[in-house]
Structure 1
Amino acid sequence: MTDWKKMSKDELELQYSPSRWSHRMSAGDVIRAHVAALKSDLPLVIYFHGGYWQFLSKDESGFLAVPLVQKGVVVVAVGYSIAPKGNMDLMVSQVRRSVVSVIQQYSHISGLYLCGHSAGAHLAAMVLSTDWSQYDISPQIKGAFLVSGIYDLQPILSTYVNEPLKMNEEVALRNSPSHFLSQLKVSSSSCDIIVAVAQNDSPEFRKQSEEYFKALESAGLKVSFEDVPNTDHFSIIEQLVDENYHLTKLLLKMMGKS
């Protein structure tokens, strides 16, 4: 190997000009292609975790990233102040602000998509129902993947679920996505929505998903319903680690990555 001290200025510049060593294209072209690749737009999925608004966190939310990242999708898991520290109004406000923050942070987004499970599906649906005129930005959400969610909070007011949440009827009503269909139609009219439910979810959970789907459909929104066989409330989301799982394929198809 030649001693660099014995090289001429031109030889040194050649050795330390990586663009001139590419076999793919000319030096100028390879730099332009590199800049374009770094600036290329990518679809971005924001994931909202479940846990009945009182368990889990964003730290347990990376499981679905692998099959999506492999296909060139950016995945961001957001957290929120679970009960009893946080109340429902606060959690809804936090996830809405998180969406705004993510959009401001990631400038090269070809499409913004939401995915939520259980309580996270409820929060994703509340994001879809946001009046964005109150915020600095109006996100163009292209798709939402709502998995085994609760869309009317009134039935859980008298259950153990509400003990740490301490919701009254007024709080439950103003945080129930099923009561904000007109606002959703304004803010997310062009959004593709998939409402999914597990075959072995409880009859009430299944009813919540079916009724929310029908309400969205009646409102003229772009929505489809997925009744996922051989799954329960937990396995329906756990299997998103598998690139061959039906819902993983649907999520990728929604983003044009199938």
Structure 2
Amino acid sequence: MGKWQEMTKEELETQYSPSRWSPRLDKDAVIEAHVQATSEATHSAQMATQTLLNVPYGLSEGEKLDVYLPKDLSETFPLVLYIHGGYWQFLSKNVSGFAAWPLVTHGIALAAVGYDVAPKGQLEVMVRQVRRSVAFAVQQYTGISGVYLLGHSAGAHLAAMVLSTDWKEFGVVPNIKGAFLVSGVYDLEPITHTYVNDVLHMSREVAQWNSPLKCVPELENRRACQVLITVAQHDSPEFCRQSQEYFEALRAAGWSASLLNIADTDHFDVIEKLSQEDYLLTQVILQMILKG
């Protein structure tokens, strides 16, 4: 497959339709299964942990956090902020606590971040909301020993945009120690030529301004922040290309970045399985945080 600019609209839409690449289920069934799996695991996590649901971090209806806390809160604890996917127009924080249980059992808090998905929210608004959620969390919970970003698909894009934040306007500099970016999109321009943009209405300028690949900050004091970029074996070639290019761009700018391809997973179960402690990615995340 050549450069995305050389693809037909139909080829581009196939590349940017993750559900078409799953070997497990057909494209509609795999999305239904994803919603069911994340909903059930989120419900289980809420039953098993101490939770603070619908904590507002801003004035908009979508600007809320669901926080999952360890039972024995020590004086300080790491916080993982999970940013959900859904192509910026689907899913919510309400089905995004599925990764909490393996984390809280190791003394790590998780906050599932809500934001205003399209058509209500515009892309640049979502980016600002997620940045604000990080600033709010570190101001609200003074016991945080370090912040870790975890994002899937469109959520990986938003988490990557947090890494390029100018924190001066937020009045706080979060101690972001790591980012786990799973099956993400880091260059939005190809998206503007697909059905995904029918709801987002992104201009080329908005896409470029909000593409992590186009705004990688040069390394200042960010060596302490480790970035893990993950792709599924059955992600599309375009998703794999974008992950590779963002990884290379981070490394070129001096960041500590690594790239992980997880066998026998597709775009959906690569993140769903974070509800399981013995899953490879869960173990990698735990090791990075507990070593932190």
* TM value normalised by structure 2: 0.73
Matches within 5 A, 1:164-175: 164-175=199-210
CA–CA separation in structure 1 for the residues paired with 2:221 and 2:214: 14
User: 1:256 — aligned with what?
Assistant: 290
User: 2:244 — aligned with what?
Assistant: 210
CA–CA separation in structure 1 for the residues paired with 2:123 and 2:213: 16
Does the aligned pair in 1 maintain the 2:187–2:213 contact within 8 Å? yes
Shift of 1:182: 2.5
Does the aligned pair in 2 maintain the 1:213–1:223 contact within 8 Å? yes
Matches within 5 A, 1:68-147: 68-147=103-182
One-letter amino acid of the structure 2 residue matched with residue 247 of structure 1: L
Structure 1 residues 187 and 49: alpha-carbon distance in aligned structure 2, compared to 1, 3 A threshold? farther
Does the aligned pair in 2 maintain the 1:196–1:209 contact within 8 Å? yes
Aligned residues: 221
Secondary structure of the 2:248 match is helix
Secondary structure of the 1:90 match is helix
Shift of 1:133: 1.5
Task: Could you tell me which runs of 5 or more consecutive residues in structure 1 were left unpaired when the two chains were aligned.
Answer: 1-36
Cα RMSD (Å): 1.5
CA–CA separation in structure 2 for the residues paired with 1:227 and 1:49: 20
User: 1:237 — aligned with what?
Assistant: 271
Shift of 1:100: 0.6
Does the aligned pair in 1 maintain the 2:232–2:262 contact within 8 Å? yes
Q: Percent identity?
A: 56
Q: Larger C-alpha radius of gyration, 1 or 2?
A: 1
1:61 matched to 2:96? The reply is yes
Structure 1 residues 126 and 257: alpha-carbon distance in aligned structure 2, compared to 1, 3 A threshold? same
Does the aligned pair in 2 maintain the 1:128–1:188 contact within 8 Å? no
CA–CA separation in structure 1 for the residues paired with 2:154 and 2:194: 15
CA–CA separation in structure 1 for the residues paired with 2:270 and 2:181: 11
Does the aligned pair in 1 maintain the 2:232–2:267 contact within 8 Å? yes
Matches within 5 A, 1:218-233: 218-233=252-267
Shift of 1:187: 7.0
Cα deviation 1:148-200 (Å, max 9, x = unaligned) = 000000011010111110000000001000111135x3474421100000000
Secondary structure of the 2:224 match is coil
Secondary structure of the 1:157 match is helix
* TM value normalised by structure 1: 0.83
Shift of 1:134: 1.5
Secondary structure of the 1:103 match is helix
Secondary structure of the 1:44 match is strand
User: 2:226 — aligned with what?
Assistant: 192
Deviation above 2 Å: which 4+ runs of structure 1?
Answer: 185-190
CA–CA separation in structure 2 for the residues paired with 1:109 and 1:163: 40
1:44 matched to 2:97? The reply is no
CA–CA separation in structure 2 for the residues paired with 1:218 and 1:127: 19
Structure 1 residues 171 and 244: alpha-carbon distance in aligned structure 2, compared to 1, 3 A threshold? same
User: 2:49 — aligned with what?
Assistant: none
